[in-house]
Structure 1
Amino acid sequence: MHALLRRALGVAAGAAAVTATLVAPASGAGQADLGTAVRETMLAERGPAASADFDVQALAEPLVEPTRNDQRWAFGTTTIPAPAKEHAGPHTAIFVAHRDAQGWQVELDGTAEFVQAVQQAPTDIVSDGEKQLFARNYENSRTAVTDTGLGLPWAEGVAWWMGGGPHGDSGQSRPYSSLDFSGGNGRVLSAGAGRVYKSCLRNGSGLVRVVHENGYSTTYYHMTGLTDLGDGQPVQYGDYLGQIDVGLPCGGSTTGPHVHFSLLRGDSHTPVDGRTIGGWTFHEGSQAYGGYAERDGTQVGTGGQITNHGRGDGTPTGVVDGGRNSSVNVRSEPKLTAPVVEELPDGSVVRIKCTARGDAVDGVWGRTDLWNQRDVGGWISDGFLYTGSDDPIAPPC
């Protein structure tokens, strides 16, 4: 649908509980119209859902944050800020825009029209890697799957508190697409590989989104200390995204430091009910923030701790624990005299291919001669790897 038609269907922006400021794109002829076109498209296509979620009739003016643009093309994010009410979360979208004789034509992510537009955009506006990602994400989003292939947003083998069971992105809103977590070192990690996009950047906080090839996207809110990766940069499973906090860069509220973790499919939020994430299958309750997570017959409700068991492919994992050291050596063989091939920072997730006995090491938990070979090569002593067990968790090499 073209922007001119969208204007006829636009939702009027009224007095806002949260003041939204347009972030102007780079200067150039006709650029002043870009913000208007993106805002009107966002209100027309996502405004009704935002109004229902926020339970308001008047929405705040959407933010428009272009990250790349020239005279004819633009790419970035747009966000409808949430009102300052309990648990409300902002609505955000990735946009691509093309300027023709009629003005700026805007498409929002999660649609066939968006995929078509990004394929046509020059590579300095949308990279080849992004074009491939958005196409695969859209294609895969049309097939429902129970196991998301995603982990939970912290280190594997570590337990965090589930402070809020399945609930809406704006608290009581439907679908119940979100979960609240806190614990450990507070480092929020990407739930899967993809590309990262940030919006509503204010006061060291923002809304972080990772678009995954498998048809899902995940969002992370309330964090500070955000990753310095630029928009569209690749992220791997377990990469750092931010630190749990109480940031409210685009409205809402929070009662304490945590990450508001949400699941999207296509252009909208999708229920976590019945979905497996991090080895746990989540079930919603009769009310928002209730429900539980289930794994192998064990159920954990709101207020309980759950361990991130990873992406569900069965590969054993451990978390680097250097004790007083900020990093741990990876060696070419299970020997202290073997060359160091890499240094892993404390908190890194290691996927274990197999185990062997080698030189004894005085590790964090005492002396051990057990070594773990990574799935990408290299050996790390079990004395500096938390696996939840003193015994081998992978087959012998």
Structure 2
Amino acid sequence: MLRYRLLYLLIVALLLSSSSPLVVQADRQIPLPVYAGTREQAVQTAVRDQKGVSATATLEVSSITELNGWTFGTVGVFADNELPNVYLYLAEQRTEGWAVAIEYTDLFRAALKRIPRDLLTPEQWATLDYNPATSLQSLIELQNDRSMQISLPWPVGESRYLTQGPHGAQSAALDFAGPANATVHAARGGVAYHACPGAADTHLRIDHGNGISTNYYHLDAITVGNGQAVARWETVGRQGTKVRCQGYVTGAHFHFWITINGQNMPIDGFEFGGWHVSGNCMIRIRDATTRCASVYFTANNTITNEGAIGSGYSIGQGSGREPVFDQAYNRHGGARNLGYPAGLVVWWGNTNPVMIQEYDGGAFGPSLLVYDRNNDPDHLRGVPAYVLRGAFRQYYQSIGGPDSWLGVPTSDEYLNAEGKPQQSFRNGFLIYHGPGNIEARSWPARQDGQWYVEYRNYVHDVWNFQMGPTWVENRFSSSCWVDNAPGSEPGAMRWGVWPDYFTVRWSGRFYFDEGVYRFRAAADDRVYIRVDGNLIIEDREYH
């Protein structure tokens, strides 16, 4: 019996000794420093202690939420010769005072693991820096892959004046001004925090996650709450003249700058909203338009928000045929319907590749501009780019895109004779009958004794027959489009053929008895007539 008891005791001892490190590990928590006084006094002391804030700086402490003895809030920091700052804090009430942690510290990350989950909203949790944060050194990489995604902080389609280039601590801020009561908008979605909530408030910080924040100063009438989630381009206030949380400056405007982990980021060389900051100027990336700071409101310092995000991309960028893409973009209403480029022009397809550029979507939703570059050689040109969107885009992609039997698009979307959406391709066309119901048809085959009629849209030259047809049909009659009167266009705009800038080719196999024949053709542009491949009429003038 003794032998069995010893064995039992040995096993228990081994089990206990193996579990003891778990107990020790569970107790390894970073202790939060406790500060005496009221919550406000404790937080002010903690900010100076943990962030090295000057003893002469003005501190404004506010609470956002309170739950189970914990408080989540903000501290506005206003120091001489510095841009204002906002820090977040977590504070727990204890018998001996307040345990406080200020953000961007190990203490704050430790406190986040102990607070009640409901102390913060899901949006606040998503944007808080509780992982190793983004470094300033990684800024270039962030810009290159558009991860910062910063826009201009005012409405799309509106302009503001650049009134001062990089200035302030670390040369981080730009000054912008607009007409009286011009609104200021979020440069990206996130969570807004106030420096000193209330009527005197003038500084707003919006957190976007990964330690990235945008800042807005000299605001009047801030319209979002402390700790409130905001969307990109949501109104957050108006330009104003306030400084700190009291006092005024002359001339309504607003400061804009970016912080990484609470550090001001030098803004010279940064790209946002499709503009590049270069010294005292901003250069539009898509066309190198340059605007330089001035206290006067002129065209020379006007910055227009075109809806670009981050570095942005220009229309047709990377294609070598930017005017072709630009023509298609403007033909469809520009940014209103297509939005802005979401990337460079790239190749799509293997056996029959085309150039495409994706657009992030205006009224049309996400769309593609498609260009048949391989069939538009430099010595001919003329092939337009076309928009592919919605159900047609989804169906086309599902069957293999340009490598499918349809080939490349040869028209934009249009309404056919039955009033249904339709789009043409090199070898046929698609008809939309309703959700999930797309019909694909081939162009008709040639018939002896009939004219085989092919219409093509063009943008440069009428004789590039390497491009696919926009509309195809067989006809006995050789009559064609007559004049420019509305409704007289080929197919009365029901074929996808444009009212102007199109060409038509009539071809067919006909049998003649031996004899002498006279051929006549009339057109408003150029006429070529061939018989058995031999050119018998060539005229570039009207007949």
Describe the shift of the 1:116–1:3 C-alpha distance in structure 2 as closer, same or farther (beyond 3 A).
Answer: closer
1:255 is aligned to 2:250:
yes
Deviation at residue 176 of structure 1 after TM alignment: 1.2
Distance 1:75 1:305 in 2: 40
Change (3 A) 1:300 1:314: closer
Alignment-derived partner of residue 398 in structure 2: none
Q: Which has the higher helix share?
A: 2
**Cα shift at 1:268:** 1.7
Supply the distance in 2 between the matched residues of 1:394 and 1:121 (Cα, whole angstroms): 55
1:204–1:226 contact (8 Å) kept in structure 2: no
1:243 aligns with 2:238: yes
CA distance in 1, matches of 2:283, 2:206: 25
2:71 to 49, 69, 74: 74
Give runs of aligned pairs for residues 33-182 of structure 1, distance below 5 A.
33-48=38-53, 51=54, 59-70=56-67, 72-82=69-79, 89-100=83-94, 103-135=97-129, 139-141=133-135, 144-146=138-140, 147=143, 148-168=148-168, 174-182=169-177
Shift of 1:77: 0.8
> 1:266: which partner in 2?
261
Q: Which of the numbers 292, 303, 306 marks the counterpart of 2:281?
A: 292
TM-score (norm 1): 0.63
Change (3 A) 1:118 1:372: closer
Q: After TM superposition, give the deviation of residue 258 of structure 1 in Å.
A: 0.7
Q: Does 1:311 align with 2:306?
A: no
Q: Residues 72 and 90 of structure 2 are in contact (CA less than 8 Å); yes or no, is this contact kept in structure 1? A: yes
Q: Which residue of 1 aligns with 2:371?
A: none
Give the SS at the match of 2:249: coil
What is the rounded CA distance, in whole Å, between the counterparts of 1:91 and 1:181 in structure 2?
A: 19
Letter in 2 for 1:212: H
By relative contact order (CA 8 Å, sep 6+), the higher-ranking structure is 1
Q: For 1:177-196, what per-residue CA distance to the aligned partner results, in whole angstroms no more than 9, with x for missing partners? A: 11111115611000001111
Q: For residues 133 and 33 of structure 1, do their structure 2 counterparts lie closer, same or farther at Cα, with a shift above 3 Å needed?
A: same
> How far does the alpha carbon of each residue in 1:62-93 deviate from its partner, in whole angstroms, 9 at most, with x for none?
2211122245211111123345xxx7643321
Q: What is the CA-CA distance between 1:110 and the residue it aligns to?
A: 2.8
Structure 2 counterpart of 1:292, one-letter code: C
CA distance in 2, matches of 1:47, 1:207: 21
What is the rounded CA distance, in whole Å, between the counterparts of 2:243 and 2:112 in structure 1? 31
The alpha-carbon distance between structure 1 residues 71 and 33, as it changes in their structure 2 partners (threshold 3 A), is farther
Residues 141/122 of structure 1: CA separation in 2 closer, same or farther (3 Å cut): farther
**How far did residue 313 of structure 1 move?**
7.3
For 2:237, what is the secondary structure of its paired residue?
Answer: strand
Instruction: For residues 111-141 of structure 1, give each alpha carbon's deviation from its aligned partner in whole angstroms, at most 9, with x where no partner exists.
Output: 3432332343113322233223214785445
Partner Cα separation in structure 2 for residue 180 and residue 262 of structure 1: 9
Equivalent position amino acid for 2:84 in 1: P
| Correspondence for 2:293 among 299, 302, 313 | 302
- Letter paired with 1:159: S
Task: Spell out, residue by residue over 1:199-230, the C-alpha distance to the aligned partner (whole angstroms, 9 max, x if none).
Answer: 21343533211100253101111111211x33
Count of aligned pairs between the two proteins: 289
Distance 2:56 2:191 in 1: 29
CA distance 1:373–1:231, shift in 2 (3 Å): same
Unmatched segments (≥5 aa) in structure 2: 1-29, 295-300, 316-331, 341-360, 368-384, 390-543
Contact 1:74 1:97 in 2 (8 A): yes
Q: Quick one: distance in 2 between partners of 1:208 and 1:46?
A: 20
Q: How does 1:168-207 map to 2 (within 5 A)?
A: 168=168, 174-184=169-179, 186-203=182-199, 205-207=201-203
Please say if residues 176 and 272 of structure 1, whose CA atoms lie closer than 8 Å, have aligned partners that are also in contact.
Answer: yes
Alignment match, 1:230 = 225
1:283 to 272, 278, 282: 278
How far did residue 376 of structure 1 move? 7.9
Which SS does the other structure have where 2:250 is aligned?
A: coil
Q: State which structure, 1 or 2, has the greater radius of gyration over its C-alpha atoms.
A: 2
Report the CA distance shift for 1:128/1:372 in structure 2 as closer, same or farther (over 3 A): closer
AA of the residue aligned to 1:93 = Y
Match of 2:363 in 1: 373
3-state SS of the aligned residue for 2:38?
A: helix
RMSD: 3.5
Answer yes or no: is the 8 Å Cα contact 2:63–2:73 preserved in 1.
Answer: yes
Q: 1:98 to 1:394 in 2, by over 3 A?
A: farther
Per-residue deviation, 1:102? 5.3
* Counterpart amino acid of residue 158 in structure 2: V
Letter in structure 1 aligned against 2:157: G
Q: TM-score, normalization: structure 2?
A: 0.47
Decide whether the 8 Å contact of 2:336 with 2:362 is kept in 1: no
CA distance in 1, matches of 2:129, 2:59: 26
**Unaligned stretches of 5+ residues in structure 1:** 8-29, 52-57, 169-173, 285-290, 318-333, 335-348, 355-370, 378-392
Q: Give the alignment of 1:344-359 within 5 angstroms.
A: 352=338
Greater shift after overlay, 195-204 or 246-255?
246-255
Distance 2:155 2:314 in 1: 13
Is contact 1:77-1:93 (8 Å) kept? yes
Deviation string for 1:2-53 (max 9, x for gaps)? 6648x7xxxxxxxxxxxxxxxxxxxxxx9x53212210111234444xx5xx
- The change in CA–CA distance for 1:315 and 1:281 in structure 2 (over 3 A counts) is closer
Identity %: 27
Q: CA deviation at 1:314?
A: 5.0
